[in-house]
Amino acid sequence: MTSTSAFLTCGRHRLDLSFPRVMGILNVTPDSFSDGGRHVALDDALRHAERMLAEGAAIIDVGGESTRPGAEPVSPAAELDRVAPVVEALVRELDALVSVDTSCPEVMREVAGLGAGMLNDVRSLDREGALAAAIGTGLPVCLMHRQGEPRDMQQAPRYDVPIEEAVVDYLAERVAACEAAGLRRERLLVDPGFGFGKTVEHNLRLLNRMERLAELELPLLVGMSRKSMIGKVLERPVEERLPGGLALSALAVERGARILRVHDVAPSVDAVNMTWAVLKEGC
């Protein structure tokens, strides 16, 4: 980690990022690409989060709007109806560090009041009102690179510069905009956005050259779990992508990732910890 502190203040939680951590995905949507509808019921969501925490997840990332390719946006009211009860229960019953995957200002404000500790925005706070809302919460925010919107982002994406340059330049611009508005740098993380407006070749090159993101000097969050890049390279359906995902997690840790956003927590924790044990020996 290249930021000035190894600790990230997340509401009442203090997250140690001196070593890589695993973030467990909890989608409470009916249409997410690999687990849509499985955890819509509150009790199902709570039990799944409890399992992920027991398996070693440091953070639970709750999402109420699918951002899979081709997904249509949902209303703020619908998104709130999905995520607010889950966030409240996770905080109250499990004392979990909860991240909320949202671009909606209304959702940001509401979940902060319910005890969420982090915001994870695939649109990097560029939706109207999002930056002001995020500042008002006092929470750390992950800014993600993307090209286009979920409904059209995978329709022949192209870049005029190498993908790693495009990602670094975009994130640097968003970080500067956040700082100019009063969102302090120590509250920011970045995500290269694998699969968001990128071909398989873009994704592979971006991971291969991910050390370039160290230029931003911010904690790096990476999410590649079960994504189509694995399916296309290995010719595997969603339910058979875990081995490929573990390989990608190990490579991401080697290239500087400090938070790995995954569906399969237990094997991912083992892969991350084993990779880190080897890397520490070189320090």
Looking at residue 2, what is its pLDDT?
42
pLDDT score at 202: 97
pLDDT band at 281 (very low <50, low <70, confident <90, very high): confident
Q: Which CATH code of 3.20.20.20, 3.30.1360.40, 3.40.50.460, 3.20.20.140 fits the domain covering 7-281? A: 3.20.20.20
Categorize the per-residue pLDDT at 66 as very low, low, confident or very high, splitting at 50, 70 and 90. Answer: confident
Rounded Cα distance, 167 and 173, in Å: 10
> 56-70, 155-169, 207-221: which range is least confident on average?
56-70
Q: What is the pLDDT of residues 105-142, one digit of tens each?
A: 999 999 999 999 999 999 999 999 999 999 999 999 99
Q: Examine the pLDDT at 282 and tell me if it is beyond 80.
A: no
pLDDT band for position 190 (cuts 50, 70, 90): very high
Q: How confident is the model at residue 1 (pLDDT cuts 50, 70, 90)?
A: very low
147: left (phi over 0), alpha (psi -120 to 50) or beta: beta
Which pLDDT does position 33 carry in this prediction?
A: 47
Domain boundaries, the chain: 7-281
Q: What are phi and psi of 245, to 5 degrees?
A: -65, -35
Of residues 154 and 93, more confidence is placed in 93
Residue 102 in contact with residue 120, Cβ under 8 Å? yes
Give the strand pairing for 259-262 and 221-222: parallel
The pLDDT value recorded for residue 157 is: 87
Q: What is the pTM of this model?
A: 0.92
* Cα–Cα distance measured from residue 46 to residue 24, given in angstroms and rounded to the nearest whole number: 12
pLDDT value at residue 206: 98
User: In the chain, what is the greatest distance between 2 CA atoms, to the nearest angstrom?
Assistant: 50
Average pLDDT over residues 40-61: 95
The pLDDT value given to residue 154: 75
b/e map 243-259, b = 16+ CB within 10 Å: ebbbebbbbbbebbbbb
- Among the listed residues 21, 227, 241, 258, the single catalytic one is 227
Task: Say if residues 98 and 117 touch (Cβ distance below 8 Å).
Answer: yes
Q: What is the C-alpha end-to-end distance of the chain, expressed in Å?
A: 13
| Residue 227 is a catalytic residue | yes
Active site residue 280: no
